[in-house]
Structure 1
Amino acid sequence: MLGYFVQWGVYQRGYHVKNIDTSGSAAKLTHINYAFGNVQNGQCAIGDSYADYDRFYQAGESVDGVADTWDAGALRGSFNQLRKLKKKYPHLKVLFSFGGWTWSGGFGQAAQNPAAFADSCYRLVEDPRWADVFDGIDIDWEYPNACGLTCDTSGPAAFRNVMSALRSRFGSGNLVTAAITADGTDGGKIDAADYAGAAQYVDWYNVMTYDFFGAWAAQGPTAPHSPLTSYDGIPIGGFHSDNAIQKLKSKGVPASKLLLGIGFYGRGWTGVTQAAPGGTATGPAPGTYEQGIEDYKVLKTRCPATGTVAGTAYAYCGGQWWSYDTPSTIGGKMSYSKNQGLGGAFFWELSGDTTNGELLTAMKNGLG
């Protein structure tokens, strides 16, 4: 049971490491991925030093009720809070995630010298100031030999080579994982890189089985962003979670190394006139931080679910159409994960849940 904690959550969202504890989530999680570190000049790099290890936490904001200090060499920021969280919950493992949608542009250069890249990552993750905080590394390369925010042309073997170098450098005593595409269409992103060949080097893959559809297609058709299965009228055939899982398994990736991804947010459109999926729209629905996307904790009451499709929920309210997972649909997805023999499940990301962690609770109950 793995959840992402986002570095930028400490700003507008006001979501800190302490919230993982007070929500009851820390006791239910086994792993936390800290997102993100950057990839620059062929190396792993700190993305936001203030949030990571410099921000001063007052006693009331701190996991253990003890304020940070300005003593020379003292660790602060989220890294220190994670250290305190691990002290309170010794079972927790924390991984440092690198890349993500915004910071994946540097992986192409990193792939030109995988050993040097891996060494830089090891030195950063195992920096003496916070070596006890992290139990391994997670690579969120969006996407090897395919297009994300930028297009990567490093070839089909690059991902395998990078993961091999990371495993060599980090050794068997650290976790080495990756978040990977869920595009199982023919000639799509799974086909673009050697995920099967790299599987021997990773402890598991976080399969990003969400964001299949969204208001980047501003006029619609409205469609659920995290369909578990296909359904009549799906805008792109094969664009669903089960297809990704089956494709990875058919390529030889062990099911036990695959985690099913759950989004703790919805994606939505406005100017919609029909409640069922497949309607037209005039643009992305308004969102708190970004148009077309909203946290589950907000949508739960602002636009409650009115139906289900393909194992996920949708909601129609006041001309807006949203899709998101609920405790009920998460239960179904966890049953699927168990039936497929998957290694578990993960989610993006902690701040989207309710203050009492109801989505994570549904995941935990569903996995048993």
Structure 2
Amino acid sequence: MHARIAVLLVLVLALAACGDAPQPPPASPQVVAGYFTEWGVYDRGFRVKNLQDSRAVERLTHLKYAFGKVDGGRCAVGDRWAAFEKPVEAADSVDGVADTATQKLRGSFGQLRKLKAANPDLKILWSFGGWSGSAGFTAAARNPARFAASCRALLNDPRWAGLFDGVDVDWEYPNACGQVCDRSGPGALTALLAALRASLGGQAIITAAVPGDVGKLRAGDYAGAARYANWLGAMTYDYFGAASGPSGPSGPSGPSRTAAHSALSAYPGIPRTAATTEATVTELLALGVPAAKVLIGVGFYGRGWTGVNGAEPGAAATGPAPGKYGDGIEDYHVLVDRCPPTGTAGGQAYARCGAQWWSYDTPETIAAKVAYAREHRLGGLFAWELSGDTPDAELLTALSR
């Protein structure tokens, strides 16, 4: 009898200890997330209202606003003008009402508040970092508690308090090299997410974008990071490209031969057999990340080469194909009309048009990735980034099925 009481006491004490550290709620089995870029309101003319007009908001469970800065190891606003100062005209407003000069909250944040009011089930996260904004994470890793406190204070700013449901950490890359190199150690991301969880509480949504590259995954403790995150979003795109540089959550450099930049599986002639969605997911699971906390990423754009001498993947090229916002990259809504698919490789479409060759996902190839996520009981999928879709959100529609 005394032995049973002792066992019960141990269990009670263990449960009490667990209660000291806030834990994330169970991961959703059907996450459909999409990144909305801060800079999209400029040349791209992609505004919050586009999410309403295309009905994309009805298909999203989570919207990630990208990017806030990590400045001096602290969370900070990226572009104040775009985020909350830029007046929005009636024609571009979610509710058809223009911002006023005396209004405290304008810009995309003001529109996001209106969008959320009309769609109360939508969760909105503030994403920090990105390909060109990750240098500050090294300083953050030296004082995770200060970093987390700064993020909490920023989310609770009176001008937009209640708008954001949590934080997305887009560190490229912990203990590895992206645009800059980090040597914070394998536990750095885990420490940041643990501090965020302790600071924001168990009901906050805390996520992280993680590498698609298998070697970079092995440089960090992603199983440990997953303990404090609702999910980890694997950047399963940009495995190959004709030019180096930012494309969102990745910045690849690639071969002088054409290749599917976001293949689901390996195909004959692929330059690196581990450069696929399947390989990335397999590695994350092998590292101990629960399947329900893994999201796979889908790029809403293509990677292109020019001076190409063949229609199949692996053809020699002279360099990156021209794109509106950068060499070697173009939005899906442009490519699907200008250079429609001529084949598939490893579960991704490719297209040869004249001297150019592009690889990109289509509704059909996205359907296969959705089926893969379901088969492996993953947490869901996410899109980088929403402005690349068609006006009627055909890619997001396929992703949400």
TM-score (ref. length: structure 1): 0.97
Partner of 2:135: 105
Q: Any idea what the Cα deviations from partners look like across 1:232-290, whole Å, max 9, x if unmatched?
A: 11112311111110111111111000111100000000000100000111110000010
Deviation (angstroms), 1:364 = 1.6
Whole-angstrom CA distance in 2 between matches of 1:126 and 1:230 = 45
Percent identical residues: 57
Q: Is the 8 A contact 1:219 1:283 kept in 2?
A: no
Whole-angstrom CA distance in 2 between matches of 1:198 and 1:2 = 19
Counterpart of 1:126 (choices 141, 152, 156) is: 156
Whole-angstrom CA distance in 1 between matches of 2:169 and 2:268 = 35
Q: Any idea what the Cα deviations from partners look like across 1:214-246, whole Å, max 9, x if unmatched?
A: 012576221011011111111123111111101
Partner of 2:307: 271
Partner of 1:12: 43
Partner of 2:272: 236
Q: Do structure 1's residue 41 and structure 2's residue 72 form an aligned pair? A: yes
Q: Is the 8 A contact 1:219 1:282 kept in 2?
A: no
Q: Any idea what the Cα deviations from partners look like across 1:312-353, whole Å, max 9, x if unmatched?
A: 100000110100000100111100010010011100011000
Q: Any idea what the Cα deviations from partners look like across 1:136-194, whole Å, max 9, x if unmatched?
A: 0000000000000000111111111111111111111210000110112xxx1000011
Whole-angstrom CA distance in 2 between matches of 1:347 and 1:40 = 26
Q: Do structure 1's residue 51 and structure 2's residue 51 form an aligned pair? A: no
Q: Any idea what the Cα deviations from partners look like across 1:16-40, whole Å, max 9, x if unmatched?
A: 0000000110111111000000111
Counterpart of 2:92 (choices 61, 79, 87) is: 61
Q: Do structure 1's residue 311 and structure 2's residue 311 form an aligned pair? A: no
Partner of 2:124: 94
Q: Is the 8 A contact 1:314 1:324 kept in 2?
A: yes
Whole-angstrom CA distance in 2 between matches of 1:259 and 1:344 = 5
Matches within 5 A, 1:259-338: 259-338=295-374
Counterpart of 2:239 (choices 212, 215, 240) is: 212
Amino acid of the residue matched to residue 364 of structure 2?
S
Matches within 5 A, 1:91-240: 91-184=121-214, 188-216=215-243, 220-240=256-276
Amino acid of the residue matched to residue 79 of structure 1?
F
Q: Do structure 1's residue 352 and structure 2's residue 388 form an aligned pair? A: yes
Tell me, what secondary structure is at the counterpart of 1:85? helix
**Higher radius of gyration, 1 or 2:** 2
Whole-angstrom CA distance in 1 between matches of 2:368 and 2:203 = 34
Q: Any idea what the Cα deviations from partners look like across 1:30-87, whole Å, max 9, x if unmatched?
A: 1100000011111011110000000001111100011112226x10010010000001
Amino acid of the residue matched to residue 122 of structure 2?
L
Structure 2, unaligned runs of 5 or more: 1-31, 244-252
Amino acid of the residue matched to residue 199 of structure 1?
A
Q: Is the 8 A contact 1:272 1:280 kept in 2?
A: yes
Q: Do structure 1's residue 22 and structure 2's residue 53 form an aligned pair? A: yes
Amino acid of the residue matched to residue 39 of structure 2?
W
Whole-angstrom CA distance in 1 between matches of 2:255 and 2:67 = 32
Q: Is the 8 A contact 1:43 1:117 kept in 2?
A: yes
Tell me, what secondary structure is at the counterpart of 1:176? strand
Tell me, what secondary structure is at the counterpart of 1:266? strand
Superposed CA RMSD in Å reads 0.9
Deviation (angstroms), 1:127 = 1.2
Q: Is the 8 A contact 1:210 1:225 kept in 2?
A: yes
Whole-angstrom CA distance in 1 between matches of 2:108 and 2:310 = 44
Deviation (angstroms), 1:129 = 1.0
Whole-angstrom CA distance in 2 between matches of 1:218 and 1:316 = 18
When residues 218 and 191 of structure 1 are mapped into structure 2, their CA distance, relative to the original with a 3 A threshold, is closer
Amino acid of the residue matched to residue 279 of structure 1?
A
Structure 1, unaligned runs of 5 or more: none
Deviation (angstroms), 1:363 = 1.0
